[in-house]
Chain A
Amino acid sequence: MGAVVNIPIPNISAIVPEILATALACFLLIFDLFVPKEKKSIVGIAALIGCIVVGVVTFGYINKHVVTFSGMFVLDSFSVILKELFLLCDIIVILISLKYLEMEGVSLGEYYALLVFATVGMMVMASANDLIMVYLGLETMALSVYALVGFIKLSEKSTEAALKYLLMGVFISGIFLFGIALVYGVVGSTQLPEVSAYIKEHGLKNPVLLMAIILIAAGLGLEIAMVPFHFWAPDVYEGAPTSVTAFISVAPKVAAIAALFRVYIEAFNLMAPYWTTLLWLLAALTMTVGNVTAVLQNNVKRLLAYSSIAHAGYMLLGILAYNQVGLEALAFYFFAYCLMNIGAFAVVIYLKRENIAGDNIEDFRGLAQTHPMLALVMVIFLLSLTGIPPTVGFVGKFLLFSAAVEAGYYWLVAIAVLNSVISLYYYFKIAKVMYMENPEKRVPFAASIPLKVAVFALGIFTVVFGLYPHPLINLAQLSIKSFFG
């Protein structure tokens, strides 16, 4: 009776990483049922091993270039590198979560499953070759993250943060979808290459697509925490469990910037004059607002929230440069940012004790006397975030700024450098408290071995890749193949 439809068999091998990650999340949910209540960190260890396995498998795809599922999904070196980054974030975040969750009294297996679900969403975003895929990946990630943010149910701050994030998120989703709908209305397809082909054929003078560019930037701008869509960030970062804050300050931001990059480069490449103007403004605003507001903060989590807003501004430079060096610098900066930002949050978790949240700047007082090593590591992260050698942050910023200069954005780079100077002030406010002041009282830390491993490994890598950045640069260079031959 109905029409016979031939269903083409898609190339499933290309999505093996996503399938494995989804299977891991489902496995964790089921595995959780057999683990007694007080030993939930076993689930975390299972998640850790699972993420490592998925990461290793994903690495095998590094030099492939496959477009499959009727053009919905693209597997290229850029997406593989991003997936590795997300999994790396997962691994670090799981390490710093294991003990922290117990201290907060919310050690539940679902935490790890949601973390992996969020990763699946971001992996899909990284490989999206269609606006619908970007949206679906974004939502999968966002919905998991909303639940993670509200994970400490007894804390009003956590619940408030989750609700705030959710409301902003669904509102912006609507805007993003509206942008997609406009593209579909004009082009008749949401696939990135087809949009590009349409623009090539019909010319640039299309107000609807222009509107769509703005709306798509807005839609992704929330996760990037780009000004003026940044208002949620400080409250959510402060209210969320610190381990989740570490996660959302890096992974979703990177995923959204990467998606914005792909959409603009692949679909709207010919409209570059328009979106570069838009991004120029947004980048300048984001950097300045982030840095200037950070100066006023006394809560370290809020301070780092504004700092991460500022870093989003720097990363937009990479998209703006729109050349090989820019992409390379962007890919490098993703890794650098992951190491130093999660590192800084990990130190905040380190300071968490009974009855002390550890996120107030007072809690850092005299840390250099009580815990010289920890203070040193924190200083390394702060140096790196500011962009001072010999740290990975310096190399990242150097690459980004030089790419932007090469593309001719002298003014913007000047603003960025000025902003870096401002950031020096508030980052070293923390350093000053640690080194120049005396500790109030000695309360022993309860840091677990995984957390110690994570903090010091991140610190060491921040320095090592600062002195010897070639492995990361080589990795970043691979991503160029996806876009520039």
Chain B
Amino acid sequence: MSWTQFFFYVFAGLSLLCALMVVTRRNAVHSAIFLIITFFFMAAVFVILKAELLAAVQVLVYAGGVVSLMLYVIMLVKAEEASQVKQNLGQIAIAAFIALLLALQVGSIVYLYFAQKPAGKAAVEALKYGGNTEGIGALLYTKYLFPFEVASVLLLAAMVGAIVLAKNRLER
């Protein structure tokens, strides 16, 4: 096992651990903090996979932007009340069983299939442009031009929807 692999497993494991903390913490603010840490470890995994741009975007957009907006909402909710809400409806055993089953199924399939395979061709393709910033830029303006534009329509629609839902409540 090379150092790269070693660090990959360390960061991947830590990100999983933090993700687990996100869903198990009672206090929503603590969950959000662990979410930030999870994003950081994921960014570290991206760096190990030589996708520096993705790592930076991960930190900038998710850790820096999205979670701070989430925290904004969480802080306006009374934390003590929120943490006393019973969060499961007695279905935890069934839910855990099904989740475990699915995880085992997907895990075994993915492991059995991908264990012998070399790296995907996508990484090699991206390196053609000499660096992943240029690579992603080039892909966004050529192959993925249309999805990129549709995504902007998507965001516009989401924004309009959110404003409609928020605005009118204030007016009344």
Q: Which residues of A contact B121 (CB under 8 A)?
A: 188
The CA of A185 and the CA of B115, in the complex, are separated in Å by 12
Interface residues on B, range: 35 or more
Q: Which residues of B contact A481 (CB under 8 A)?
A: none
State whether A3 and B145 are in contact (beta carbons under 8 Å apart), knowing that A117-B156, A143-B157 are contacts in the complex: no
The CA of A106 and the CA of B168, in the complex, are separated in Å by 9
Contact of A207 among B109, B134, B150, B162 (CB under 8 A): B109
Q: Which residues of B contact A110 (CB under 8 A)?
A: 160, 163-164
Number of residue pairs across A and B with beta carbons under 8 Å?
Answer: 119
Q: Does B151 contact A (CB under 8 A)?
A: yes
State whether A113 and B160 are in contact (beta carbons under 8 Å apart), knowing that A3-B134, A5-B141, A8-B142 are contacts in the complex: yes
State whether A147 and B134 are in contact (beta carbons under 8 Å apart), knowing that A10-B146, A211-B105 are contacts in the complex: no
Q: Does A427 contact B (CB under 8 A)?
A: no
Q: Which residues of A contact B143 (CB under 8 A)?
A: 70, 72
Interface residues on A, range: 35 or more
Q: Does A132 contact B (CB under 8 A)?
A: yes
Residues 25-50 of A, flagged 1 when their CB comes within 8 A of B and 0 if not, give 11001000000000000000000000
| Complex: chain A residue closest to B110, CB-CB | A208
Q: Which residues of B contact A10 (CB under 8 A)?
A: 145-146
Q: Does A69 contact B (CB under 8 A)?
A: yes
Which residues from 180 to 222 on chain A have a C-beta closer than 8 Å to any C-beta of chain B? 182, 184-186, 188, 206-208, 210-211
Q: Does B64 contact A (CB under 8 A)?
A: no
The CA of A405 and the CA of B12, in the complex, are separated in Å by 51
> Which label, helix, strand, loop or mixed, suits the secondary structure of the A interface?
helix
A142 nearest CB across to chain B (Å) = 9
State whether A69 and B137 are in contact (beta carbons under 8 Å apart), knowing that A117-B157, A136-B154, A153-B168 are contacts in the complex: no
Q: Which residues of A contact B134 (CB under 8 A)?
A: 2-3, 5
B26 nearest CB across to chain A (Å) = 20
Q: Does A120 contact B (CB under 8 A)?
A: yes
Which residues from 91 to 110 on chain B have a C-beta closer than 8 Å to any C-beta of chain A? 105-106, 109-110
Residues of A participating in the B interface, judged by any CB pair closer than 8 Å: 2-3, 5, 7-8, 10, 15, 22, 25-26, 29, 69-70, 72-73, 106, 108, 110, 113-114, 117-118, 120-121, 124, 130, 132-133, 136-137, 139-140, 143-144, 146-148, 150-151, 153-154, 162, 182, 184-186, 188, 206-208, 210-211
